[in-house]
Amino acid sequence: MSLNLVPFVSVDKMMKLVLHIGIERVLVDLAAEIEADFRRWPQFDKTPRVASHSDVGVIELMPTSDGTTYGFKYVNGHPSNLRRGLQTVTAFGLLADVATGYPLLLSEMTILTALRTAATSAMAAKHLAPEGARVMAMIGNGAQAEFQALAFKAICGIEEVRLYDIDSDATDKCARNLAASGLKITRCKSREDAILGAQILTTCTADKNYATILNDNMVGAGVHINAIGGDCPGKTELAPAILHRSSIFVEYPPQTRIEGEIQQLDADHPVTELWQVITGATAGRTSASQITLFDSVGFAIEDFSALRYVHGKLAVTGLYDNLDMIADPDDPRDLFGMILRAAA
């Protein structure tokens, strides 16, 4: 690929790439890529995402580098967009070569973020969920729900997903999309109904406020909670009492303490970094009665892994376009002359 032509993966090309490989295969592959990068966690630059908050949402940049490759994602979160017929979350991302600063890839990441979020959730559950878990409650059946269900099926062996949303149309949509997935899909009339018999409880709601999706008396011993809806200051889903009863696992504490469920706790409340569980440095689930909680807010390394995965698929799939983004004068010092010669 020419250095002045940057591979660009559009929404159309991303959809074709995912379908070409297969959605479940992509989810499994992404989980493996993310886990591999978690195993080399200390090699990465790490910083909480740079956020610009407003009354209606947030716009964020999520950067990281492993010293060889740099990556960032631009992402927004605007819950009120749904009422306007717009996506609540949109994103794009970039990879660049650290040695030259030249971009290597520009990609849509609205679809890719949904895939990497689900892959990360299932990767965490593989290490934290109770052995033999086969039933998952999915509370919140919006844009992320199907990805979560398929990731847990492909990576963790989930066989039944129990769906609940305050909007029954969202549940109908999710059930319809998963009809041919091989999963047993159960529509539920309440949160309490959804968690019956479930060993994994996934909460994924969109409202930007302190919400209580799960009350303390709804959570019994031995379950794994996959909390992915609380992902910015002032937005939570779990009753604080649940947190005090749980072993809490996070991606990057300085970010999660600002954005995650643990923003409700004292700043020194103990949490375990997920990468330490993956490397075997720290224990994950230690007993059948333990409540494990993955307080997921999304971290830049996961986006880095996802972008690198897509970049690695371009040569074999050809599913990209080239963008003329980098000026390429004959003399690197003569950018002005390049402009003049364009008129000739």
Where in the sequence numbering do the catalytic residues fall? 231
Kindly list the distances between the CA atom of residue 140 and the CA atoms of 62, 155, 329, in Å, as whole numbers in the listed order.
Answer: 25, 21, 52
Q: State the CB neighbour count (10 A cutoff) for residue 34.
A: 25
Alpha helices in the chain (DSSP H): 11-21, 23-39, 110-128, 145-151, 168-177, 191-194, 240-245, 253-259, 274-278, 300-317, 335-342
Q: Are 158 and 63 in contact (CB under 8 A)?
A: no
Q: Are 77 and 57 in contact (CB under 8 A)?
A: yes
Exposed/middle/buried for residue 10 (C-beta within 10 Å: 0-12, 13-18, 19+): middle
The tokens describing 332, both together, are 């690197």
| Selection from 157, 147, 92 nearest residue 121 by Cα | 147
User: Beta 160-164 vs 200-203: how paired, if at all?
Assistant: unpaired
Cα–Cα distance between 103 and 106 in angstroms, integer?
8
Strand order in the sheet with 91-97: 50-53, 58-65, 69-77, 91-97, 103-108, 5-9, 321-324
Going by the DSSP 8-state scheme, the letter that residue 235 receives in this structure is B
Q: State the CB neighbour count (10 A cutoff) for residue 132.
A: 7
List b or e across 41-79, with b for residues whose CB sees 16 or more CB atoms inside 10 angstroms.
beebebebbebeeeeebbebebbbbbeebbbbbebbbbb
User: Beta 135-139 vs 210-214: how paired, if at all?
Assistant: unpaired
Residue whose structure tokens are 């999710």:
174
The tokens describing 125, both together, are 């559950």
